[in-house]
C-alpha cells in the first residue's frame, strides 16, 4: 500500500523543497540530504510505487523506459561515466529501505568501496 505522506511524495507535490538535479515528465532527481559519497543523487519516478518491483509491475512501459533513460541522462549530466558510479535501490525491510517511494541512489565522485 503506497503511503501518500512519505517524504518523496511530498517532494513530488512540492510541499517540501529539494535540491533538484533534473526533472522531466516522468522523473525527478535531487541531491541526497545526507550524502554517502561526494556525488549522491536520488532518482524517483513520478509514479506512486513503493519499491522497484512495485514500479516494474505497475507502471507502463513508456513510464519505465523514460525513467531509466533519465537515469542515464543524469549520469551524463554529472559526467561520472568515465570514472564510474554505483546504482543502488533498497527494497523493503531486509533491503534497508527507509523511504517507501521507489528510488535509485546514484553514488559517484570517489571510490565507493565494497558493499559490505
Ligand atoms: P533508502 O534508505 O534507500 O530509503 O534511502 C532514503 C534516502 O533518502 C536516504 O539516503 C536519505 O538521506 C534520503 N532523504 C531523506 N529525506 C530526504 C530529503 N528531504 N531530501 C533528500 N534526501 C532525503
Check: CB of residue 20 under 8 Å from CB of residue 28: yes
Q: Distance between alpha carbon 35 and the CA centroid of its chain, in Å?
A: 13
d(CA 32, CA 40): 6
| Most informative mutation of 7, 18, 49 for ligand 1 (most atoms within 8 A of CB) | 7
User: Is the predicted pLDDT of residue 99 greater than 90, yes or no?
Assistant: yes
Reported confidence tier of residue 115, pLDDT bands at 50, 70, 90: confident
Block residue for cell numbers 571510490: 111
Average pLDDT over residues 23-29: 98
Please state the pTM of the whole predicted model: 0.98
d(CA 101, CA 26): 14
Give the pLDDT confidence of 11-20 residue by residue, as tens digits.
Answer: 999 999 999 9
- Active-site positions read 103
Give the model's pLDDT for residue 116. 78
d(CA 28, CA 18): 10
Reported confidence tier of residue 92, pLDDT bands at 50, 70, 90: very high
Amino acid at each position: 500500500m503506497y503511503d501518500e505522506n512519505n517524504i518523496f511524495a511530498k517532494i513530488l507535490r512540492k510541499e517540501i523543497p529539494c535540491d533538484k538535479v533534473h526533472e522531466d515528465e516522468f522523473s525527478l532527481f535531487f541531491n541526497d540530504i545526507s550524502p554517502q559519497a561526494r556525488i549522491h543523487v536520488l532518482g524517483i519516478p513520478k509514479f506512486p510505487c513503493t519499491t522497484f518491483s512495485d514500479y516494474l509491475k505497475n507502471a507502463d512501459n513508456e513510464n519505465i523506459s523514460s525513467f531509466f533513460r533519465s537515469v542515464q541522462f543524469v549520469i551524463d549530466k554529472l559526467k561520472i561515466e568515465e570514472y564510474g558510479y554505483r546504482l543502488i535501490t533498497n527494497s523493503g525491510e531486509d533491503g534497508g529501505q527507509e523511504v517507501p517511494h521507489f528510488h535509485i541512489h546514484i553514488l559517484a565522485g570517489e571510490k565507493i568501496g565494497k558493499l559490505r
